[in-house]
Amino acid sequence: MALKESKTETSVAKRLANWQQGDFALNCGEFFFRDVTEPNDEAGDVFAEEVLGLTVISQTCDILRDPERTPVKYATVCPLVKINKAGLSQVGKGQAPRYGLIANAPEGVVVDFSRTMSVSKALLVGWERNRGCQTEKEQLEFSRSLERFFGRFAFPDAFNESVHSLRSAITKRYQKESGFGKAVRSIQELRVFPYGNWNDSEDVSISFVVVLKEENEREVVCLEEISREIKAKIDEIKWVEPFRSHEHGIRLATLSDLTATEYVNSYPLDLNALSFARRFQKEP
């Protein structure tokens, strides 16, 4: 539902107080970007594209800062685009990190994180605001979608080639009613711990940290069963040098079991539904 700003609040700072990350405006203008018109056009030209609307992706604390009192005078926005049902299904499964869902958007409309634009806060507060995330849970999921797209670690090519079979198995069987499918759905996140520098050309041994959901959220409660199913797929990995499996190739833990050092020094493996995938869907 659109929330029109009060005309009596002329102060930009006061009107900014109503905005938060994930809020959006429809029919608020064009999306501007630079591109080349000729192969040797180094400077590029400015182009404008009609979009359905724009969504704010700046942190809420940055949005709220008074542009007259701080250097933060702009907000970052992404365009809203319409995609088909197949595309929506992929987004819901976490298979299209380029796009993000907001709860109050028109049907079939998503946020395109791959394109960003800066707008002044004075312009932002002149738009008709729509609340994109209506609950704390939705706000968290939107921020995780942003984190997934903008914060993904660039694993070396040899590592990506090595774990291709594991990625494929999880993607194909995540929704299957098999022992492996149930085990995977009991996992919150799969992280990678390297025993060495990622850029080491000689030898880098790898272990996997299987971060479990809380026990009451798991489809498989037995840790040995989860370990057996996941380890079987890890053992099938055909490692490309310099990567290899560490002697302790897998560890199961909940978030509360991990120390901050262990979590920070490991890297999330982007595996669709396991990596900040959508945790809620709109009610029919």
Q: Give the pLDDT confidence of 143-167 residue by residue, as tens digits.
A: 888 887 887 788 888 998 999 899 8
Measured on CA atoms in the order 278, 279, 283, 284, is the torsion positive or negative? positive
pLDDT recorded at residue 152: 75
Residue 281 belongs to a domain: no
- Residue ending a domain, choose from 102, 123, 151: 151
Q: How far apart are CA 91 and CA 168, in angstroms?
A: 17
- Residue ending a domain, choose from 99, 127, 151: 151
Reported as a pLDDT band with limits 50, 70 and 90, residue 42 is confident
For residue 145, give its domain range.
2-151
Measured on CA atoms in the order 197, 155, 189, 250, is the torsion positive or negative? negative
Indicate whether 169 and 212 sit together in one domain.
yes
Indicate whether 15 and 136 sit together in one domain.
yes
Residue 226 belongs to a domain: yes
Residue 82 scores a pLDDT above 80: yes
pLDDT tens-digit map of 1-31: 454 544 434 588 888 989 999 999 999 999 9
Indicate whether 207 and 249 sit together in one domain.
yes
The single-letter DSSP state of residue 179 is: H
Could you tell me the pTM of the whole model? Answer: 0.68
Indicate whether 137 and 10 sit together in one domain.
yes
Indicate whether 16 and 127 sit together in one domain.
yes
Indicate whether 93 and 49 sit together in one domain.
yes
Residue 103 scores a pLDDT above 90: no
Find how far residue 112's CA is from the centre of its chain.
12
Residue 280 belongs to a domain: no
Q: Omega before 71 cis (within 30°)? A: no
Q: What is the mean pLDDT of the chain?
A: 85
pLDDT recorded at residue 276: 37
- Residue ending a domain, choose from 98, 128, 151: 151
Q: How far apart are CA 58 and CA 60, in angstroms?
A: 6
Indicate whether 211 and 133 sit together in one domain.
no
SS3 state at 170: helix
Reported as a pLDDT band with limits 50, 70 and 90, residue 211 is very high
Residue 248 scores a pLDDT above 90: no
The single-letter DSSP state of residue 117 is: E
Reported as a pLDDT band with limits 50, 70 and 90, residue 237 is very high
> How many domains, the chain?
2
Say if strands 2-3 and 129-130 run parallel, antiparallel, or are unpaired. Answer: antiparallel
**What percentage of the chain's residues is helix, strand, coil (to nearest 5)?**
30, 25, 45
Indicate whether 135 and 227 sit together in one domain.
no
Indicate whether 12 and 143 sit together in one domain.
yes
Q: For the purposes of burial, counting CB atoms within 10 Å of the CB of 66, is it exposed (0-12), middle (13-18) or buried (19 or more)?
A: middle
State how far the alpha carbon of 145 is from the alpha carbons of 36, 150, 161, 217, in Å: 30, 9, 25, 21
Reported as a pLDDT band with limits 50, 70 and 90, residue 65 is confident
